[in-house]
Copies of this chain bind each other. A is one copy, B any other.
Amino acid sequence: MKASEQRELLRRMLLHRQIDTRAFQLNRQGRIPFALGGEGHEAAQAGASLAFMRGQDVLVPYYRDLGLALGIGLPVIDVFTSLFAKKADTSGGRQFPSHFSNKALGLVSISSIIAAHVAHAVGFGLAMQYRKERGRAVLCSFGDGATSQGEWHEALNFAAVMQAPVVFFCQNNGWAISVPQSKQMRINDIADRAIGYGMPGSTVDGFDPIAVYDAVHAALERARNGGGPSLIEAKCYRFLPHTSDDDDRTYRQPEEVETQRTRDPLPTFERQLIEKQIYSTDEIALLKAELYEHIDQALEEAAALENPSADSLTTNVYAGTEKAWL
């Protein structure tokens, strides 16, 4: 991989991490009621997002995909308008944070209902296929828990039968809130589920952004060229509680988290880039400071924006202004 791309990977990972840190700070400060972080998912999301072709591909993410959304071009300020539930938020302040919508970027609106979006991704893929738009594909992301849902199964089977250009990207962080993988399923590798659909499946180290990039890139390329769907499992870990409302000490040992922290992809990848002489320690420090500055500005800018007005309650229910009783 080119040095510039590796630098970009680190930039995306740092941006993701720093925003999460700020969001949880805001929550602790009482400035926002809710935060949801992706610490431990940065490498997976940076790698996958780098494989995404802007202006071509479509991303159907899930709620923990801040890094993916940023990676495909979501402006940082949109994260904060979302956290502050501002009028300018892409959902107009209607949705929880991290439920972005940006059609121009190919970033698809989702609900919070686990796995409900996976079939939508297939629909996007089939629309591309129907219009014979070779060179485009859909990246659809979800967690390990999501693969227990019936809707997930139906979507993967459907995609396989129709050979839809969709890459199903599972970020397996080992937990679905308090439920560990061992209680969620009786297999080690979620990628094995691909066998039952007749599509390629592979497992990659989700702490290694380059490995993730390689796997997702290859799968997207195959999909873009009519080779059909595939399933990629990136094994990562959730360092934070499920959300700011969760207390993960009720269900997992702090030692487990600490052990995983020793493998934190951020310092690891920083070290690698320094070793490869792609970045110096100082350059990384500078980059972090720049990102901090950028985030800080976006945060304060967003905080100063207008809140939604009560009138907006009733807009965008239908195209027109229909009511139930006409």
Q: Name A's B-contacting residues (CB within 8 A).
A: 148-154, 157, 160-161, 163, 183-187, 192-199
Chain B neighbourhood of A161, CB < 8 A = 183-186
Give chain B nearest CB distance to A204 CB in angstroms.
18
Chain B neighbourhood of A149, CB < 8 A = 150, 154
Give chain B nearest CB distance to A312 CB in angstroms.
35
Q: Which residue of chain B has its CB nearest to the CB of A199?
A: B186
Chain B neighbourhood of A163, CB < 8 A = 186
Q: Which residue of chain B has its CB nearest to the CB of A154?
A: B150
> Chain A contact residues: over half helix, strand or loop, or mixed?
helix
Q: How far is the CA of A199 from the CA of B193 in the complex (A)?
A: 12
Most buried by B among A149, A157, A183, A196: A196
Taking A185-B197, A187-B197 as known contacts, 12 extra A-B pairs with beta carbons closer than 8 A to each other, sorted by chain A number, are: A148-B154, A150-B151, A150-B154, A153-B154, A157-B185, A163-B186, A186-B198, A187-B195, A187-B196, A187-B198, A192-B196, A195-B195
Chain B neighbourhood of A198, CB < 8 A = 185-187
Give chain B nearest CB distance to A132 CB in angstroms.
21
Partner of A196, one of B160, B184, B196: B196
Complex contact B193–A196 (CB within 8 A): yes
Give chain B nearest CB distance to A198 CB in angstroms.
3
Chain B neighbourhood of A194, CB < 8 A = 196
Q: Which residue of chain B has its CB nearest to the CB of A148?
A: B157
Complex contact A195–B197 (CB within 8 A): no
Q: How far is the CA of A157 from the CA of B186 in the complex (A)?
A: 8
Q: How far is the CA of A194 from the CA of B195 in the complex (A)?
A: 9
Q: Which residue of chain B has its CB nearest to the CB of A119?
A: B150
Most buried by B among A152, A153, A160, A199: A153
Q: Which residue of chain B has its CB nearest to the CB of A201?
A: B196
A-B contact pairs, 15 of them (CB 8 A): A150-B150, A150-B151, A153-B153, A153-B154, A157-B185, A160-B185, A160-B186, A161-B184, A161-B185, A161-B186, A185-B198, A187-B195, A192-B195, A194-B196, A196-B196
